[in-house]
Amino acid sequence: MTTLNRHGSRTRQRSEVPLDRIILGDCLEKLGELPDGSIDLVFADPPFNIGYDYDVYNDKQEVSKYLDWSRRWMTEVSRVLKPNGTFWLAIGDEYAADLKVIAQREIGLIPRSWVIWYYTFGVNCTKKFSRSHAHLFHFVKHSTDFTFNDESIRVPSARQLVYNDRRANPRGRLPDDTWILRPQEPEAGFNPTDDTWYFSRVCGTFKERAGFHGCQMPEQLLGRVINVSSNPGEIVLDPFGGSGSTLITAKKLDRRFLGFELSPEYVTRIEQRLAATRVGQKLDGIEDARDGGKAKKTTARRRLSSSES
């Protein structure tokens, strides 16, 4: 909305942050309506510009157009973040380098981690190696003042799991920056010594699957991002709603939330999902990375759980 100011020129009115809802519309326009410094955490999983078949969005833009658009929405993200805010960007190989340079060098966001989300069940290729990863860039606005709740996402260390070493920190350790998502859980290939992330990609047959969006992110992955980079009651924004999983996860974790989405169909489905979700509800997917995706608990896992209770 624009109004005339007392000098007679037009200024844009920036209203309060609308909370706990998904809003139909273009994120660039909707971000523009948010006040400066009003959001604690932005998680964005934009279209990758690879020709994916979305409901209304055309995912095959000219390279320069896509990059210019990415620059504009990420600049808005930076503006709406609080001074101690955090921005997580999920992006594919095709534009990871470009978007990192834009966010870091042009917009001035400060990189903390470059996480690789390793998954399977990607498209099987025959003339190149099959894609099994996506990039998760973790940026902050301030170099020292930002939320990082390491306690909320710790995993058992090898000292605890393998060596039963009394010197092991009973609080476990931070996960590595490669997050493994192995739906088929090969016991032999990935055993409990891997203190990495055992969350599955949300495949077609999974209970978690909402069923209307092919890019649905796993709640366990989103839970790790939201837990580590925000506190209960703070505001989480997702400019690209998709299936709504960021908002669902934020609600379960007792965060305030806001999402934007271009497709009326997706918005309706997200609203239905949100209405069926309760604060405090368990996240879908493998319950806890500290279980390594396996139900049985080792002594070290039991120790980790009891040290936290």
Burial of 43 (0-12, 13-18, 19+ CB in 10 A): buried
From the list 51-59, 111-119, 122-130, 161-169, the region that binds ligand SAM by CB under 6 A is: 51-59
Please say whether the beta carbons of 110 and 140 come within 8 A: yes
Q: Is residue 26 a contact point for ligand SAM (CB under 6 A)?
A: yes
* Out of 42, 47, 196, 201, the residue judged to bind ligand SAM by CB under 6 A: 47
Nearer CB in complex with ligand SAM: 27/103? 27
Q: What is the identity of the amino acid at 12?
A: R
What is the nearest approach in angstroms of ligand SAM to the Cβ of residue 27?
4
Compute the distance between CA of residue 170 and CA of residue 159 in angstroms, rounded to an integer.
Answer: 10
* Out of 34, 40, 42, 45, the residue judged to bind ligand SAM by CB under 6 A: 45
Nearer CB in complex with ligand SAM: 91/168? 91
Nearer CB in complex with ligand SAM: 110/262? 262
Window 256-275: residues binding ligand SAM (CB under 6 A): 260-263, 266
CB proximity list for 166: less than 8 A, separation 6 or greater: none
Tell me the two tokens of residue 182: 């192995």
Q: Is residue 245 a contact point for ligand SAM (CB under 6 A)?
A: yes
Tell me the two tokens of residue 75: 């600049």
Q: Is residue 88 a contact point for ligand SAM (CB under 6 A)?
A: no
Compute the distance between CA of residue 57 and CA of residue 305 in angstroms, rounded to an integer.
Answer: 44
From the list 105-113, 137-145, 185-193, 210-218, the region that binds ligand SAM by CB under 6 A is: 210-218
User: H helices of 61-144, where?
Assistant: 63-80, 93-101
Query: How many residues are given for the chain?
Result: 309
Q: Is residue 57 a contact point for ligand SAM (CB under 6 A)?
A: yes
Compute the distance between CA of residue 134 and CA of residue 163 in angstroms, rounded to an integer.
Answer: 32
Q: Is residue 17 a contact point for ligand SAM (CB under 6 A)?
A: no
Residue nearest to ligand SAM (CB): 242
Q: Is residue 137 a contact point for ligand SAM (CB under 6 A)?
A: no
What angle (nearest 5°) sits at the alpha carbon of residue 99, between those of residues 47 and 197? Answer: 75
Chain residues that interact with ligand SAM, rule: CB under 6 A: 26-28, 45, 47, 54-55, 57, 213, 215-217, 239-240, 242-243, 245, 260-263, 266
